[in-house]
């Protein structure tokens, strides 16, 4: 799959932002006044900034309002509704903390859970794709949630929670990669089933339908990501999980904590790039590629 | 609404004969011609006159080589467009309701004025039947020429999809695959028509007819093995020339 920059930025930063909103909503940290204002600005910049970035890959972003209508079947529609609900609920909760110095606990809990709901609905957009076997697995939503929770805890300065979640996340990610590597073959879709010609013999793509490239090949066939997958996986594990945990265990000041956050964000950006670049869409089979 | 309607009794679709298709791409050209001028946004091309040409097509013809265990390889031309699936995954993922399946005849269409160009429907389609137009920013797909098949302004023989109407080999057939007595249904039953990627669970309406088995080269004459091959010790001018040239220094023996 083509790793679109706007979608990678959306997935990384909105995940962090909604993770931070979750911990704020749950009352793990309860800032008031100006401190609360700064916490909520950081969370909203990440969450909303990512959402805005995600509209950059749309052909017609001006019609985005229509995307709230099909929640009965579409995970993208559910994600949009969930995001608006979470942001409004958490804004009320935040206003209580900033302006009145009171914690409106109900809004916090509902808004916090809705923030996780946004991350879950986002992950299901990918996990529902039968056409991309690597994504169609419980590890996809599990990794989205873990990354959001651990990144949010890291931003919120919750060292113990963040360290535990990062360790779980790193192990789960290695498991997701290991099982994901086999899933395309296990799904049983191949050139023979794609063309229905397997009963005659081995099928080989002889001539493509056109001399150049096309939308399908640009969007769904991406080979560079797989070429360097091993190195990128090591970089991801190091930056997103190992280094932040080590820094957290050493952490005694804000500078080290900030380094842990920066390392984690850089690692998650690489992780997300790999998430797309490594995923193989079955349509590539019609072109004799994956 | 992107909820799929209950399965319709009428299932309009195509039957494509892989035995007959000669790979001329006439269906590709007529499809682009009709659909760029009629229903919805035109099908744009980018850098059409350069080395990096690219464009939107609703129908493309691949060619595959199939190598049996024994005997010669076969070349099979393979036209591919929307299969108007009964369980169309492209419809249910659409967040705006732009993508829909018609309850009355099962045609899958895009309402372009509602399409935000997110591309999710193309992700959900295993067949590559949908292409996001680079100029218009909306999703394009085969309409089964919905603006031809019901069009009473056209002569009756033209009321079929442009690709079917134009195919010079008769490799494409259009009809109601929901009616077991229709010509296309009988053709599918007779020739063993099959689905593409059945494991994806999309239940395509369009069917493909397999190539017929190739003839095995017959033994022409039972006496042939006993006949002498082309004369080795020939006579005449050619024979003399062969010997004379071979005798020259450096001549081929």
* pLDDT tens digit sequence for B145-181: 999 999 999 999 999 999 999 999 999 999 999 999 9
Contact A214 B52 (CB under 8 A): no
Comparing CB atoms, the residue among A59, A193, A195 nearest residue B78 is: A195
Nearest CA in chain A to B119: A58
In this prediction, residue A244 carries a pLDDT of 95
Return phi, psi of residue B203, to 5°. Answer: 50, 70
Q: How far apart are CA A269 and CA B2, in angstroms?
A: 33
Yes or no, beta carbons of B60 and A213 under 8 Å apart: no
B57 contacts in chain A (CB < 8 Å): 209-210, 214
What's the pLDDT band for A92 if we cut at 50, 70, 90?
very high
Q: Does the structure show a pLDDT above 60 at A102?
A: yes
pLDDT band at B231 (very low <50, low <70, confident <90, very high): low
Q: Residue B138 above 70 pLDDT? A: yes
Mean of the per-residue pLDDT values of chain B: 91
Residue B2 has pLDDT above 80, yes or no: no
pLDDT, tens digit (0-9, with 9 covering 90-100), for A24-65:
999 999 999 999 999 999 999 999 999 998 888 899 999 999
Cβ separation of A74 and B2 shorter than 8 Å?
yes
End-to-end CA distance of chain B: 81
Which positions 91-130 of B are in contact with A (Cβ < 8 Å)? Answer: 91-98, 114-120, 122-128
Residue-level pLDDT at B226: 72
Task: Give B190's pLDDT tier (boundaries 50, 70, 90).
Answer: very high
Contact criterion met (CB below 8 Å) for B61 and B27: yes
Q: Assess contact for B129 and B82: CB atoms under 8 A.
A: yes
Which chain A residues touch B91 with a CB distance below 8 Å? Answer: 73
CA distance A168 to chain B (A): 30
Residue B34 contacts A, CB cutoff 8 Å? no
Over residues B50-104, the pLDDT tens digits come to 888 899 999 999 999 999 998 889 999 999 999 999 999 999 999 999 999 999 9
Name the residue among A137, A221, A236, A165 with its Cα closest to residue A23. A165
Give per-residue pLDDT as tens, A175-206. 999 999 999 999 999 999 999 999 999 999 99
Backbone dihedral region for residue B101 (phi beyond 0: left; psi -120 to 50: alpha; all else: beta): beta
CB contact under 8 A, B66 and A200: yes
Low-confidence winner among A48-57, A159-168, A235-244, B224-233 (lowest mean pLDDT): B224-233
Res B241: pLDDT: 82
Specify the fold of A5-287.
Formate dehydrogenase/DMSO reductase fold (1.20.1630)
- As a whole number of angstroms, the distance between CA A55 and CA A66 comes to 13
pLDDT at A152: 96
- For residue range A224-282, what is the model confidence (pLDDT) as tens digits? 777 888 899 999 999 999 999 999 888 778 889 899 999 999 999 999 999 999 999 99
Q: What is the pLDDT of residue B219?
A: 64
Residue A170 has pLDDT above 70, yes or no: yes
Residue, of A116 and B226, whose pLDDT is higher: A116
Q: pLDDT tens-digit profile of A131-158? A: 999 999 999 999 999 999 999 999 999 9
Q: What is the pLDDT of residue B253?
A: 66
Instruction: Identify the band that residue B222 occupies on the pLDDT scale cut at 50, 70 and 90.
Output: confident
Give the C-alpha separation, B38 to B36, whole Å. Answer: 6
Q: What CATH code would you report for B12-209?
A: 3.30.70.20
Domains of chain A: which residue ranges? 5-287
3-state secondary structure of A203: strand
d(CA A261, CA A93): 25
DSSP B117: -
Angle between the N-to-C axes of helices A15-25 and A105-127, in degrees from 0 to 180, rounded to the nearest 10:
150
pLDDT of residue B179: 95
Question: What SS3 state is found at B101?
Answer: strand
Is residue A220's pLDDT more than 60?
yes
Mean local confidence (pLDDT), B34-41: 92
Alpha-carbon span B253 to A182, nearest angstrom: 59
pLDDT exceeds 60 at position B230? no
Q: Nearest CA to A115 among A194, A248, A214, A16?
A: A16
Q: Does B60 touch chain A (CB under 8 A)?
A: yes
Residues with Cβ < 8 Å from B48, sequence gap 6 or more? B55
Rg (CA), chain A: 21
The pLDDT of residue B240: 82
Contact assessment for residue B158 and residue B11, using Cβ atoms and an 8 Å cutoff: no
**Do the Cβ atoms of A70 and B97 come within 8 Å?**
yes
For residue A286, the chain B residues in CB contact (below 8 A) are: 62, 80, 127-128
Q: Which residue has the higher pLDDT, B248 or A233?
A: A233
Q: Does B154 reach chain A within 8 Å, measured CB to CB?
A: no
């Amino acid at each position: 799959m083509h790793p679109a920059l706007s979608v990678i930025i959306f997935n990384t930063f909105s995940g962090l932002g909604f993770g931070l909103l979750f911990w704020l909503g749950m009352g793990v940290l309860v800032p008031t006044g100006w401190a609360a204002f700064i916490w909520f600005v950081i969370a909203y910049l990440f969450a909303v900034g990512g959402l805005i970035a995600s509209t950059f890959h749309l052909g017609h972003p001006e019609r985005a309002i229509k995307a709230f209508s099909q929640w009965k079947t579409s995970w993208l529609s559910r994600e949009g509704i969930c995001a608006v609900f979470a942001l409004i609920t958490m804004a009320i909760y935040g206003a209580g903390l900033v302006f009145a110095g009171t914690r409106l606990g109900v809004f916090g809990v509902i808004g916090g859970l809705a923030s996780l709901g946004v991350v879950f609905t986002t992950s299901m957009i990918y996990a529902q794709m039968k056409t991309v076997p690597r994504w169609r697995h419980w590890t996809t939503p599990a990794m989205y949630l873990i990354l959001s929770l651990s990144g949010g805890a890291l931003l919120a300065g919750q060292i113990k929670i963040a360290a535990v979640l990062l360790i779980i996340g790193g192990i789960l990610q290695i498991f997701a990669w290991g099982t994901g590597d086999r899933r395309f073959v296990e799904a049983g879709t191949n050139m023979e089933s794609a063309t229905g010609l397997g009963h005659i013999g081995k099928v080989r793509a002889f001539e493509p339908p056109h001399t150049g490239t096309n939308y399908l090949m640009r969007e769904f066939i991406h080979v560079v990501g797989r070429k360097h997958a091993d190195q990128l996986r090591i970089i991801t594990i190091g930056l997103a999980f190992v280094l932040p945990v080590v820094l957290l265990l050493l952490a005694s000041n804000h500078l080290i904590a900030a380094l842990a956050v920066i390392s984690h964000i850089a690692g998650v950006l690489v992780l997300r790039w790999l998430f797309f670049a490594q995923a193989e869409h079955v349509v590539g089979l019609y072109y004799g590629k994956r | 609404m992107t909820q799929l309607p209950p399965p319709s009794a009428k299932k309009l679709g195509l039957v494509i004969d892989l035995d007959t298709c000669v790979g001329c791409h006439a269906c590709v050209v007529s499809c682009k011609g009709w659909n760029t001028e009629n229903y919805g946004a035109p099908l744009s091309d980018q850098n059409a006159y350069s080395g990096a040409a690219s464009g939107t097509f609703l129908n493309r013809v691949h060619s595959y080589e199939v190598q049996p265990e024994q005997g010669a390889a076969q070349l099979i031309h393979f036209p591919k467009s929307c299969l108007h699936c009964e369980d169309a995954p492209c419809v249910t993922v659409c967040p705006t309701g732009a993508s829909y399946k018609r309850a009355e005849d099962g045609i899958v269409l895009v309402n372009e004025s509602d399409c935000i160009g997110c591309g999710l429907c193309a992700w959900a389609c295993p067949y590559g039947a949908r292409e996001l137009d680079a100029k218009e920013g909306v999703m394009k797909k085969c309409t089964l020429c919905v603006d031809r098949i019901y069009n009473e302004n056209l002569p009756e023989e033209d009321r079929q999809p442009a690709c079917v109407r134009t195919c010079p080999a008769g490799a494409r057939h259009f009809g109601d695959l929901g009616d077991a007595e229709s010509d296309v249904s009988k053709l599918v039953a007779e020739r063993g028509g099959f689905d593409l990627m059945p494991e994806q669970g999309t239940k395509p309406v369009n069917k493909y007819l397999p190539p017929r088995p190739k003839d095995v080269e017959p033994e022409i004459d039972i006496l042939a093995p006993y006949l002498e091959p082309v004369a080795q010790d020939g006579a005449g001018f050619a024979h003399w020339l062969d010997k004379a040239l071979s005798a020259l220094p450096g001549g081929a023996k």
